[in-house]
Structure 1
Amino acid sequence: MGQSTPVNRHPVLIVEDEPILRLEALDMVEAAGFEPVEATSVEHAIRILEERPDIRLVYMDLDMPRGIKGIEIAAAIRNRWPPIEIILIAAFSMGEELELPVRAQFFAKPVRYTQIVGAMRSMMAHVGEGDRKCA
């Protein structure tokens, strides 16, 4: 609580269905100085993206249930909202077989938080103020 919070924190949408992993990601994002926004499902994430044009970064688990593959959702986000940056995580290494959307980054679990936070900061370094509709 002794840390000062930046006035203009960029929101980061965290899409994770596992409660403990979601809480860890929320804590990581907040500790890094971003505004964490949580989604418990893909459907919830899409609703949030429709309502929050200020979100420019999505941190998403590829191992989401209910049929639709995480990589397909990431591609759909990239196609619908091109300015959004995407970080994808999964419990397995996908190697060469995974076709990532443009500008998306992939990390295998267990993730090293320093890598994730570094990627977030790098991705958000070029993002200006305002919403993605203006980009």
Structure 2
Amino acid sequence: MTMHTPSSGASVADGAGRGPASERPRILIVDDEPTYREYLERFLSRDGLEVRTAETGAEAIALSRDFAPDLLLADWMLRCEMHGIEVGEALRNRWPGLRILLMTGFPTADLEAEAARVGIDGFLEKPFALDDLSRAITAALAGRGVGRVSGPATATKAGDPAR
């Protein structure tokens, strides 16, 4: 797994999210790989976001009872009872304005079609640049479409291409 800090000073916290300006955007990360999940939590927390993490879909749903996320950042292929799209559907039923970004190392046309049906805001193809992650979160929180962000061929990356 290759993970470095971003090269730009891009911030996703500036003017993003719901509520008063003093309220930080809330991000819920769901990934079954602890190292990756913890790294993203540290990166996004330093970027001014309020971040919670979950290893499973059930844990994410339980967390959402006390933590109303603005954005869900979920791995599509979780090794648990639910995949990322199912987690997104369950959380959006509770929080209709929830923005959803999926991370995947295996983008397919079928996955994109299912995600479009559900209203997923965008995809991040692993490995992805942290600058791309910041831009995707900013766009999603602002209500702009993100689409598919392909993994870079350069060194500023987060993600495990083997997943």
> Which of the five TM-score ranges fits, normalised by the shorter chain?
0.7 to 0.9
Which one scores higher on RCO, CA 8 angstroms, separation ≥ 6? 2
Letter of the 1:87 counterpart = L
**Percent of residue pairs identical:** 28
**TM-score with structure 2 length normalisation?**
0.65
* Gap regions ≥5 residues in structure 2: 1-12, 15-21, 144-163
Of 38, 61, 65, the residue aligned with 2:53 is 38
State the Cα distance separating 1:28 from its structure 2 match: 2.1
State the Cα distance separating 1:104 from its structure 2 match: 2.1
Measured against aligned partners, the alpha-carbon deviations of 1:23-76 in whole angstroms (never above 9, x if no partner) come to 1111221132211111121111001112223x2111111121124232222233
Name the stretch that deviates more: 66-75 or 23-32: 66-75
Distance in structure 1 (CA, Å) of the matches to 2:25 and 2:85? 24
More helix, by proportion: 1
Answering whether residue 74 of structure 2 is matched by residue 60 of structure 1, we say yes
Figure out how many residues of one structure are paired with residues of the other and give that number: 120
Give the structure 2 partner of residue 26 of structure 1: 41
CA contact (8 A) 2:41 2:51 kept: yes
Letter of the 1:46 counterpart = I
Distance in structure 2 (CA, Å) of the matches to 1:8 and 1:68? 30
Give the structure 1 partner of residue 97 of structure 2: 83
Distance in structure 2 (CA, Å) of the matches to 1:103 and 1:91? 16
Answering whether residue 35 of structure 2 is matched by residue 51 of structure 1, we say no
Give the structure 2 partner of residue 93 of structure 1: 107
Of 11, 17, 23, the residue aligned with 1:8 is 23
Name the stretch that deviates more: 5-14 or 105-114: 5-14
Answering whether residue 128 of structure 2 is matched by residue 111 of structure 1, we say yes
RMSD between aligned residues: 2.0
Measured against aligned partners, the alpha-carbon deviations of 1:60-99 in whole angstroms (never above 9, x if no partner) come to 11121124232222233333422100110012122x2122
CA contact (8 A) 2:29 2:73 kept: yes
Distance in structure 2 (CA, Å) of the matches to 1:52 and 1:74? 15
| Change beyond 3 A, Cα 1:37–1:122 | same
Structure 1 segments of 4+ aligned residues over 6 angstroms from their partners: none
